[in-house]
Structure 1
Amino acid sequence: MKKSNIILLFALFCITPIIAKAHVKWFTQKEPEKIPIEQILSIEFIVLSLLIALFLALLSQFIPQLMKIPGVATIDKKLDEYRKYSRLILQYGTAASFILQVVNGTMFAPEFTIHHGWQTVLMWAIIVLLLIPHHIATKIASVLMLGLFLYIWSYSGWFHMLDYGFYLAIIGVLLVGRTRWETAGFPFLYLGTGLSLCWVAVEKWVYPFMTIDIIHRHQVPTFGFPPELFIVLSAFIEFVVGYLLVVGILNRLLAVAVTILFVLTTMIFGYTEVVGHAMIHIVLLIFIIEGISFYHPPVKMHKTRLDQMIFVFLNFLFVLSTFLLIYYRFA
């Protein structure tokens, strides 16, 4: 492969998540317009799906080699020392994220505006309880968060709120602290965050015109690719990141990469991006610290390399198809 082509592919990988990680609904006024399923399942889409599935299958076998890179094992052990702070980071990080939101006049996400005084009071009550260093106060705060989330769910619809399913995982982690179910908390956080990223990625395939509007409005470079193909590629990147978090591949490396990419999106989309993704930054920080120390990845259920590769290949295609069909059916 020519050096210029390598540079182009690297630039594409770096820039496409700028669109992928930007929540479409926050930055466009264009009404969602669903395109025909035949248009989504283009030849490019099918070929990319197969190539990515094959790449992920091979990637699952190269992970042990990463630990042989000089300095990687040392960094890994150093990060292990901070695991004892993970729950505190989530607790106080959630409080900090909620402060940004309530000051901005929103709840959970920039699209959910505070309309009533009791909502502001409830947001501040959650913040204060999270700042109290006692697990009972944290549990009360998580129950209040769940109540507020379900209230928003009641008028926004379950389909819409699946974009923010990771909040249910956060609530779950805070709620089971200091209980016999505590060890199940962070694996649930991995699962909830990964599935949320996959779900949001599908939106860009089903409603591509909203993302095209963002590209034109913010003058995002497409590196010579047609906007339609660029959107397909960017959505695949986001979907793959979510999938890898779920199956437990490259968790720390992914968390670092996605954190950097979220910082880049802030340069384009500004303060709304900061408020909207502050909570995700906290979750990614926890992933950087924890790795998969507490998580038994599904890929590890299979012992031989060939079985693991087949599992990753077929499972990716199954998950991709399931998400796309469910989203398209109910969109």
Structure 2
Amino acid sequence: MKRKLTWLIVIAGLIPPMIAQAHVKWFASVEPEKVNIEEILSPFFITISVLCAVILAVLSQVMGRVMDIPFASKIDLKLDSFRKYSRQLLKYGTAVSFILQVSYGTMFAPEFTIHNTWQRVVMWIIIIFLLIPHHIATKIAALFMLGLFIQIWSDSGWFHMLDYGFYLAIIGVLLVGKTRFETVGFPFLYLGTGLSLCWVAVEKWVYPTMTIDIIHHHHVPTFGFEAGIFVVLSAFIEFVVGYLLVVGILNRVLAVVVTILFILTTMIFGYTEVVGHAMIHIVLLIFIIEGVSFYHPPIKIHKTRMDQMIFVSLNFLFVLSTFLLIYYRFA
């Protein structure tokens, strides 16, 4: 068991399992069954939590050194030249994502089906205004997006829509373009996307039977582990990726790995996966282009390496505990 755990930790550090990137609600065929908090906070869970905190502390000092490699530095400089296109990528990428959604008969995510003609009309209004190359049209599209999101929010409930909180970040970026608040747009996108990934990761701990059902029905590889253990570990990986986004450790290399994994999930989950995660693909492409150039990460508040390591590890445990307790309380 120790040997298997060591290998999975190594693999997890480089290539997160594909199930960690799949949204459970889209593919599960069983009803959600909430487990007891004692079952979640098992000795195995606590051990992995502490281990992740230690790894993140070390990672905070290692990730920056990757860019010192000559080949990585050359790619880094090349990507810098594409930064001027980041906002256009978000604008037109959102339009493409919405075209996929409306053609699939959904809004924002595969679980929100278009039931009324006015919803389809609003979707096309958003798409048309996003395709108009003017910042006023972009803001109009963002306002329509916000209105439609609020309407779905009122029907589905605030707790459910927290899974898609990154859309609020996208709307915010589109709204502040060409204003004095433009510089806070992309940092807000980092924060919103990271928190959304952390939130949906907790779902796998609270409702593990849904993820186990997906593993069995879609024959997801578990690297030799029992499905229950694999669910816990895959959720940790997704939570860690989201946390790395928030604290500003996720650099271009890791963003590339996550993007490739999102693409690979289509081999298992098909077109629904494409429609559901198209918007996330766009966001990750922006992260690849921008790196952390526009983001003043919280970790930089601390100057010494030891202070940064302590901050990252202890803050991870605090964020993990907070997310888990809030999710479990309202689930």
TM-score w.r.t. structure 2 length? 0.96
| 1:16 Cα deviation from its structure 2 partner | 5.1
Q: Which residue of the partner structure matches residue 229 of structure 1?
A: 229
Q: Secondary structure at the match of 1:316?
A: helix
Q: What's 1:158 paired with? A: 158
Deviation, 1:10, is 4.8
Taking structure 1 as reference, are residues 108 and 4 closer, same or farther at Cα in structure 2, changes over 3 Å only? Answer: closer
- 1:229-264: CA deviations, max 9, x gaps? 100000000000000000000331221111111111
Between 1:214-223 and 1:178-187, the stretch displaced more is 214-223
Aligned to 2:117: 117
Q: How does 1:174-323 map to 2 (within 5 A)?
A: 174-323=174-323
Distance 1:289 1:162 in 2: 27
Q: Is the Cα–Cα contact under 8 Å of residues 14 and 261 in structure 1 kept in the other structure?
A: no
Q: Distance in 2 between matches of 1:299 and 1:161?
A: 29
After TM superposition, the structure 1 stretch with the greater mean CA deviation from structure 2, 190-199 or 252-261, is: 252-261
Structure 2 equivalent of residue 20 of structure 1:
20
Conserved? CA contact 1:256–1:288, under 8 Å: yes
Structure 1 residues 181 and 10 mapped into 2: Cα distance closer, same or farther (>3 Å)? same
Structure-1 separation of matches of 2:327 and 2:81: 41
Distance in 1, matches of 2:203 and 2:14, equals 20
| Amino acid in structure 2 at the alignment position of 1:210 | M
- The structural deviation recorded for 1:67 is 2.0
- The amino acid of 1:322's aligned partner reads T
Structure 1 residues 109 and 243, CA gap change in structure 2 (3 angstroms)? same
Deviation for aligned residue 1:64: 3.1
Tell me, in whole angstroms, the C-alpha distance in 1 between the residues paired with 2:135 and 2:64. 38
User: Equivalent residue for 2:133?
Assistant: 133
C-alpha change, 1:226 and 1:323, in structure 2 (3 Å) is same
Q: Is the 8 A contact 1:18 1:265 kept in 2?
A: yes
The 3-state SS of whatever aligns with 2:110 is strand
Deviation digits for residues 22-43 of structure 1 (CA, Å, limit 9, x no counterpart):
0000001211110000000000
Tell me, what secondary structure is at the counterpart of 2:111? strand
Q: Closer, same or farther in 2 for the Cα pair 1:166/1:30, shift >3 Å?
A: same
Partner AA of 2:213 in structure 1 = D
Mapped partners of 1:244, 1:30: distance in 2: 31
Q: Which amino acid in structure 1 is aligned with residue 54 of structure 2? A: L
Q: Is the 8 A contact 1:28 1:214 kept in 2?
A: yes
Root-mean-square deviation (CA, aligned residues, Å) is 1.7
Q: What stretches of structure 1 move > 4 A for 4+ residues in a row?
A: 2-16
> Please, what TM-score do these two structures have when normalized by structure 1?
0.96
How much has 1:17 moved relative to structure 2? Answer: 2.8
Per the alignment, residue 107 of structure 1 pairs with: 107
Q: Name structure 2 gaps, 5 residues minimum.
A: none
Structure 1 distance, partners of 2:14, 2:135, is 40
1:69-116 Cα distance to aligned partner (Å, 9 max, x none): 121111111111111000000000000000000000000000000000
Stretches of structure 1 lacking an aligned partner (at least 5 in a row)? none
The residue aligned with 2:66 is: 66
Alpha carbons 2:63, 2:251 under 8 Å: kept: no
* SS of structure 2 residue aligned to 1:249: coil
Matched, 1:142 2:142: yes
Name the structure 2 match of 1:92: 92
